[in-house]
Amino acid sequence: MATIHLNRFFIGAFLLILFTAQLAVLVHSKNLHPAKWPSFQNLEGSRKGLTAKGIQNVKNYMRTFGYLNDNNDKRNDHRNDDQFDKSLEIAVKKFQRFYKLNVTGILDDGTISQMKTPRCGVADVHDLQTLGIVSHYAFFPGKPRWPLVSYEANILYYSLDVNNASGVSLEMMRYIATEAFSQWKQASNITFEESAQGKLPDLSLGFVQNDGPGNVMAFSYPPTNGTLRFDAAESWSTDIPPAKTDIDIIWAAMHEIGHLLGLDHSTDKNAIMYAYIDPGVNKRTLSQDDIDGIRALYSS
Ligand SMILES: *[C@@H]1O[C@H](CO)[C@@H](O)[C@H](O)[C@H]1NC(C)=O
Ligand SMILES: *[C@@H]1O[C@H](CO)[C@@H](O)[C@H](O)[C@H]1NC(C)=O
Ligand SMILES: *[C@@H]1O[C@H](CO)[C@@H](O)[C@H](O)[C@H]1NC(C)=O
Ligand SMILES: *[C@@H]1O[C@H](CO)[C@@H](O)[C@H](O)[C@H]1NC(C)=O
């Protein structure tokens, strides 16, 4: 079900939608968009030298999130097979260092559970120096940011691209956006306004069918791209707290807006810019790390 679970404020609107035209778009087939990464089951304990079905998926995961960059490594014969090679061991160790797991190079319990948690689709590691430093925010390479001085009064305009994929109403999108932008506004002094009809927005928030439930729950791009997309296949919620398997869409929106503004993933577990989202939990407060990050980016 690609439904969004609504807080009480929206139950009226929700029922209205439900009993009018949109019932069909709330339902979709799971098999239509199979998960890109299977559950990594049976791989626990895997280490260098071992060959096991599914190791290829671990390599894809490490590539996608910036830990394994072996596409041009012609000397490596194991790029596309199930052998746990030296490059993968190095990648797993980098991943473990970033997430403060035991740095063993082995797919232990802590590492597998981390990998199974829903997360943002943006890669963690764009700058390998990040791995050497303490818990901290990060920027994208070249520190891209919005050139606000050339805009009227530090305003960024956003559009809410309500479409077919999600079954989410414009009112609901407005509520999510308002909640998610408010603390970034306080921290950065940037004002966010919905763009008028027909005006070209800076930012665009919407839904897309991505990789099925779990895995990547949303993605976005660094400045000045402005595109943010939630995976319509997730079970989203605005509840406090969300149901055990639902994902807090306000948390996800705050996280992705951080990317739109120019912050990369933080290694600080308390930060909104931490890449993983625990289902059944709300996180809606910028951490000091997020605030320091956005101020460092826009005050210089
Ligand atoms: C690290 O290893 C220790 C000892 O084996 C274990 O108790 C602990 O739970 C591990 N930590 C993580 C994050 O996996
Ligand atoms: C909604 O999606 C369905 C199937 O994906 C498609 O057939 C239909 O034309 C879409 N409707 C609109 C209004 O985009
Ligand atoms: C935001 O603007 C106020 C008033 O101009 C100023 O005092 C404050 O330092 C600014 N904060 C940031 C983070 O730039
Ligand atoms: C944002 O980046 C994506 C991926 O590179 C691209 O497809 C899209 O056209 C870009 N959008 C804008 C508005 O630049």
- Structural domains present in the chain: 2-31+122-297 (3.40.390.10), 41-117 (1.10.101.10)
The packing angle between helices 86-98 and 55-64, to 10°, is 50
Mean pLDDT check: name the lowest of 47-56, 136-145, 163-172, 243-252: 163-172
Q: Which amino acid is at 155?
A: I
Higher pLDDT pick, 71 / 179:
179
The tokens describing 188, both together, are 């950065």
Among candidate residues 183, 191, 200, 184, the one with its CA nearest the CA of residue 156: 191
In this structure, which residue's CA is closest to atom 14 in ligand 4? 225
Enter the pTM of the model: 0.81
For ligand 3, is residue 299 a contact (CB within 6 Å)? yes
Mutate to test the pocket of ligand 1, among 102, 108, 117 (most ligand atoms within 8 A of CB): 102
Contact 233, 168 (CB under 8 A): no
HSE, side-chain direction, 13 A CA sphere, residue 40 = 23
Ligand 4 center from residue 214 Cα (angstroms): 24
How far, in Å, CA of 14 to CA of 37, rounded? 32
The 3-class SS string of the chain reads CCCEECCHHHHHHHHHHHHCCCHHHHCCCHHHCCCCCCCCCCCCCCCCCCECCCHHHHHHHHHHCCCCCCCCCCCCCCCCCCECCHHHHHHHHHHHHHCCCCCCCCCCHHHHHHHHCCEECCCCCCCHHHHHCCCCCEECCCCCCCCHHHCHHHEEEEEEECCCCCCCCHHHHHHHHHHHHHHHHHHHCCEEEECCCCCCCCEEEEEECCCCCCCEEEEECCCCCCEEEEECCCCEECCCCCCCCCEEHHHHHHHHHHHHHCEECCCCCCCCCCCECCCCCCCCCCCHHHHHHHHHHHHC
The Å distance, Cα 228 to ligand 2 centre, comes to 21
Position 149 scores a pLDDT of: 58
User: Cα(107)–Cα(196) distance, rounded to whole angstroms?
Assistant: 50
- What is the pLDDT at residue 163? 74
Using a 6 Å cutoff on CB, does residue 270 contact ligand 4?
no
Is 227 a pocket residue for ligand 4 (Cβ < 6 Å)?
Answer: yes
- Check residues 164 and 101 and name the one with the higher pLDDT: 101
Sign of the CA dihedral 117, 120, 126, 129?
negative
Residue-level pLDDT at 68: 93
Q: What token pair was written down for 183?
A: 């603390």
Question: Which has the closest alpha carbon to 228: 239, 215, 236, 217?
Answer: 217
Residue 300 pLDDT greater than 70, yes or no? no
Of the candidates 235, 251, 216, 226, the one whose C-alpha atom is nearest the C-alpha of residue 121 is 216
Per-residue pLDDT band at 274 (split at 50, 70, 90): very high
Question: Percent of the chain having pLDDT more than 90?
Answer: 65
- Least confident piece of the model among 45-54, 99-108, 148-157, 230-239: 148-157
Mean residue pLDDT across the chain: 84
Round to whole Å and give the CA distance between 122 and 244: 24
Residue 136 among known ligand-binding residues: no
Give the mean pLDDT of 84-105: 94
Percent of the chain with pLDDT over 70: 80
- pLDDT value at residue 11: 42
Confidence tier at 69 by pLDDT (50, 70, 90): confident
Q: How far apart are CA 165 and CA 208, in angstroms?
A: 6
Locate 54 and state its tokens: 């599914």
